[in-house]
Amino acid sequence: MKCAVMGAGAWGTALASLLSENGHDTRIWCLEPDVADAISNSGMNPRFLPGMELHSALTGTTDKAEALDGAELVLFAAPSHVLREVVSHARAWVVTAATAVVATKGIERESFALMTDVVEQELRGHAVVALSGPSFAAEVANRQPTAVVAASANAAAAALTQQAFSAPHFRVYSHDDVIGVELGGAIKNVMAVATGISDGLGLGFNARAALITRGLAEMMRLGSVMGAHPQTFAGLAGIGDLVLTCTGALSRNRQVGLEIGKGATLAEVLAGRETVAEGVVTTESTKALAESRGVEMPIVTAVHRVLFERQPARWALVELMGRDLRGERD
């Protein structure tokens, strides 16, 4: 099968290499010419996925038309804040029968659209699948065991995606709860910033566990209002991705929180970074979405105050711990 990957960051590169290794004719579109050259000529992406050897048949290009030519499966892996632009610019070259797979995790800031919604709006008539779950790009590229979900309202598209990506080290489960899978993948990044701040302040494992657990409750609360199935949050795209991102040393979002907890400002943390920490953008969109739906999300609100309202992290903790007492299931 011919495949195109739109976005050559760490995650897009790892998935493109996986598709190529699985025997698919795969091209990856790269914004940066040096990244395209490195992938095609040296089998590496030193800018975004350093030290990882990619499959030898994978080729990079800066030409969208070349990447998308005849592709039956198109994987979008651009950052959430530019996904709509990337899909819109790619639309002219996406073949009519192509399945669109979305590996981006986030919530669009202006519209509150989930990432599959963005792609569906820009690629009318195409089957769209969300690919999500606990998966660090470096570990996938290093062929370490990983399990994810492919979620779609179109069962055939989910099955096609499952078959295309599955490998001895990469297990894909099909799913039909797109809203739950997407919310889990997006909001866990906000919670990872929160646990990073807690760890940076040296608050201990008890605090980390509390944040993860209550973060899951907030995720489920919003998901319930938006029509997600509660059981989804007990799966790979929910608690699985949440635990990985909140505790793993490779988590960019947790790292942002760690540095802020140790006293850095958001501007200082983000200065000079080439990789995107989606939790920063998603904090804004999640807070606004929750408010529009009348859903209380205290941890999200606290992270927003620390990141964007310059509230000292310890004050945010005092406010979280000092809220009115309530039942755990409320």
Q: How confident is the model at residue 201 (pLDDT cuts 50, 70, 90)?
A: very high
300 and 290 Cβ atoms separated by less than 8 Å = yes
Q: How confident is the model at residue 330 (pLDDT cuts 50, 70, 90)?
A: confident
Domain 185-321 has CATH 1.10.1040.10: yes
Mean pLDDT of 245-259: 96
User: Could you tell me the residue ranges of all domains in the chain?
Assistant: 2-176, 185-321
Q: How confident is the model at residue 226 (pLDDT cuts 50, 70, 90)?
A: very high
> Residue 217 to residues 29, 146, 201, 234, 297: CA-CA distances in angstroms?
38, 25, 23, 11, 9
Per-residue pLDDT, 329? 85
- Both structure tokens of 174: 């099909």
Rounded-to-5 percentages of helix, strand, coil across the chain: 55, 15, 35
First CA to last CA distance, the chain: 49
For residue 134, pLDDT beyond 80: yes
Mean pLDDT of 263-292: 91
Domain 2-176 has CATH 3.40.50.720: yes
For residue 258, pLDDT beyond 90: yes
188 is catalytic: yes
Look up tokens 């909001």; give the residue: 187
For residue 275, pLDDT beyond 90: no
Over residues 148-175, the pLDDT tens digits come to 999 999 999 999 999 999 999 999 999 9
For residue 32, pLDDT beyond 80: yes
Mean pLDDT of 189-214: 97
- Both structure tokens of 88: 């819109």
Query: What is the pLDDT of the chain when averaged over all its residues?
Result: 96
Element (H, E) at 198: helix 178-200
Q: Where are the beta strands (DSSP E) in the chain?
A: 2-6, 25-29, 59-61, 73-76, 99-102, 128-132, 146-151, 170-175
For residue 327, pLDDT beyond 80: yes
Query: CB neighbours (10 Å) of residue 85?
Result: 12
Query: Cα angle vertex 111, ends 216, 251, to 5°?
Result: 40
Mean pLDDT of 52-75: 98
Could you say which of 2, 64, 105, 188 is catalytic? 188
